[in-house]
Amino acid sequence: MDIDALITKYDIRVPRYTSYPTAPQFRPSIDAAVYDGWLRALPDVPVSLYLHVPFCAELCWYCGCNTTAVRRREPMDAYAETLLTEIDRVVAALGRRMEVAHLHWGGGTPHALPADRMTAIMARLRKAFSFTADAEIAVEIDPRTAGATVIDTLAEIGVNRASLGVQDFDPRVQRAVNRLQSFQQTLACATRLRARGISAINLDLIYGLPHQTEAGVTETVRRALDLAPDRVAVFGYAHVPWMKRHQALIPEAALPDLRARRRQRAAADAALTGAGYVAIGLDHYARPDDDMARAADRGTLRRNFQGYTTDSAPALIGLGASAIGALPQGYVQNAAALPEYRTRIRAGSFATVRGVALAGDDRLRRDVIEQLMCQGEVDLAETAARYGADPSTFGSAAPALHALAEDGVIAWDGARVAVQPEAAILVRAVASVFDAYHRPDALRHAPAV
């Protein structure tokens, strides 16, 4: 198999499939009134929470998140007050304290909020929801600004999993993306976290950044492993300056080409699996005894807006500007712009500005795509039968599946599709075959590799 030739052929622009239908299909017809009705109709099931904090001390130029650089306390105080109001409004619609086993603080940099504001928000959430004794409370961390006081606060509010942004340890790469972060800073942060009882540590790395090399990525992984993380995510940098204008500050001439990206990805994979980590899905790795590795082995791994997860809750409630929620009826998203988010909440409404209601075909295709993204294979006949659908539903995908099989990307017997291990990097391209909405020329998506 000439994997470089296949990558060239199949490196189309495709979604990351953290949902289906994907965000480009969200429409303004799913508004605050619809969301209110969906919450009121939610059965008594476990729910998960996602809380978005769109602030950072400074902007990293590679970032694709909804965030802004803020150093003054006033806007953070105002945002925290709005979050508290939104929490109260959600609980009023639910009408009861629902069970929560997963809470994820994302951003931005969640701990950019003042300590007393994080404490107040967590206290309100614990009053509003019934957290299980073993609930996972995770937070994304910038090691450059997470000093002892911040980590004390995180421990006091019950955080038990921390995801540390690393990206790359090469100073030249760091300068090119405006994120100077030494290994010692990162080590000190991990050490403090563990000393305060936050023992579950994730690391986020990126390949495809300016000036990165295969050897450099290998060295970054080697140093990352010195931190003994439980999980490591290795994401491909998505260069979309037409969507994220600050990415135009990155020197495009220094970006690796497609073949170099593939080799950087392979180098990271070899270093991590060589150290005993289990490869999970498209871009995650975990220790063999980690819950995520066990979920992958059992076939219960899931995928949501934070990537791969062990969370099996049938509902995810998103809080904060740009936050996305996933309910049995469909997806909803809050206004991304802070003024609009604040205005809608203060006006006594939800901040929902768009979303999508799930149809039967959507649920079937979502299941197929999630199985491919999580397990690398799917039995189309068996999955269709579970939804009372005819396997001929996927008839339009047959030509693409034939081509993928002939090229050695997948094995396909007419019912079961399995991505070949050596072509696993192309799983998003395979998944796109079952995406009824996908248009390969959609510029909003990053290339598959």
Q: Which long-range contacts (CB under 8 A, 24 or more apart) does 113-116 make?
A: 113/53, 113/55, 113/76, 113/79, 113/80, 114/73, 114/76, 114/77, 114/80, 115/149, 115/150, 115/153
The three state secondary structure string of 46-112 is CEEEEEEECEECCCCCCCCCCCEECCCHHHHHHHHHHHHHHHHHHHHHHCCCCEEEEEEEEECCHHH
Task: Specify the DSSP class assigned to residue 425.
Answer: G
Among the four given CATH numbers 1.10.1530.10, 1.10.10.920, 1.10.1660.10, 2.40.50.140, the one describing domain 1-17+360-449: 1.10.10.920
Q: Are the C-beta atoms of residues 256 and 214 closer than 8 Å to each other?
A: no
Distance CA 162, CA 105 (A): 10
Burial of 386: CB neighbours in 10 Å, binned 0-12, 13-18, 19+ = exposed
pLDDT in tens, the chain (449 residues): 688 788 888 877 789 999 999 999 999 999 999 999 999 999 999 999 999 999 999 999 999 888 998 989 999 999 999 999 999 999 999 999 999 999 999 999 999 999 999 999 999 999 999 999 999 999 999 999 999 999 999 999 999 999 999 999 999 999 999 999 999 999 999 999 999 999 999 999 999 999 999 999 999 999 999 999 999 999 999 998 988 999 999 999 999 998 899 999 999 999 999 999 999 999 999 999 999 999 999 999 999 988 999 999 999 999 999 999 999 999 999 999 999 999 999 999 999 999 999 998 999 999 999 999 999 999 999 999 999 999 888 999 999 999 999 999 999 998 999 999 989 999 999 999 999 998 765 555 566 56
Q: What class, spelled out in words, does domain 22-356 have in CATH?
A: alpha beta
Burial of 49: CB neighbours in 10 Å, binned 0-12, 13-18, 19+ = buried
* For the chain, domain boundaries: 1-17+360-449, 22-356
Q: Are the C-beta atoms of residues 387 and 339 closer than 8 Å to each other?
A: no
Fold match between 1-17+360-449 and 22-356?
Answer: no
Coil vs helix vs strand at 338: helix
Distance CA 328, CA 34 (A): 13
Distance CA 387, CA 393 (A): 11
Q: How far is CA 413 from CA 10, 365, 398, 410, in A?
A: 21, 19, 11, 10
Distance CA 408, CA 300 (A): 27
Q: Are the C-beta atoms of residues 34 and 352 closer than 8 Å to each other?
A: yes
Task: Specify the DSSP class assigned to residue 435.
Answer: -
Counts for the chain of helices (H) and strands (E), in that order: 15, 19
Q: At what angle do helices 214-225 and 258-274 cross, to 10 degrees?
A: 30
How many CB atoms lie under 10 A from the CB of residue 218?
15
Q: In residues, how long is the chain?
A: 449
